[in-house]
Amino acid sequence: MSETKSEAVLTGGCHCGAIRYQVSAMPFASDYCHCDICKQTTGSVVGAWMDFKVEQVTWLKGKVKEYESSEFVRRGFCEHCGSSLTFRDTRHASYFTLTVTSLDDASKVQPTYHIYTDDQLPWLKIDDNARRYRQGQTKE
């Protein structure tokens, strides 16, 4: 992840303001994740994620605290307020994933597909035309 400033397309950060970032492009993908781990770590019924190339993400203030949530996944959060911010798959080192809801204006990015719909809560009704994957979708 870059540490130098570039022209921001999107900006965001954690709830308390200890962590701030900007990205220099719109995400190349964005999804709703229904997996049990995303639900638990985000405290929501679904996680909303957006994917960037590592060099498109610039940290302006603070650092995420990461932990290993599964064999290949590192999840990042603010150690002060607990906001869920990042997801990294170590098998795809050139990609970096941020929570859509950490954006200053989350309405600027709308996920286009759902993953792990086998884990979707039965009472959650979704009325959109986004593509659905019963499990994950492999990044290419």
pLDDT > 90 in the chain, percent: 89
Q: Is residue 47 part of a domain?
A: yes
Distance (Å, rounded) from C-alpha 56 to C-alpha 94? 10
Q: Is residue 1 part of a domain?
A: no
Q: Is residue 138 part of a domain?
A: no
pLDDT tens digits, one per residue of 101-112: 999 999 999 999
135 phi, psi to nearest 5 deg: -120, -155
Domain count along the chain: 1
Within 10 angstroms of residue 134's Cβ, the number of other Cβ atoms is 12
Q: Is residue 45 part of a domain?
A: yes
Q: How far is CA 2 from the centre of its chain?
A: 17
Give the pLDDT of residue 6.
52
Q: Is residue 2 part of a domain?
A: no
Look at residues 25, 22, 17, 30 and name the one whose alpha carbon lies nearest to residue 2: 22
Distance (Å, rounded) from C-alpha 21 to C-alpha 98? 10
pLDDT tens digits, one per residue of 55-101: 999 999 999 999 999 999 999 999 999 999 999 999 999 999 999 99
51: domain range? 10-132
Q: Is residue 38 part of a domain?
A: yes
Q: What is the pTM of this model?
A: 0.88
Q: Is residue 58 part of a domain?
A: yes
Domain CATH for 96: 2.170.150.70
59 phi, psi to nearest 5 deg: -90, 120
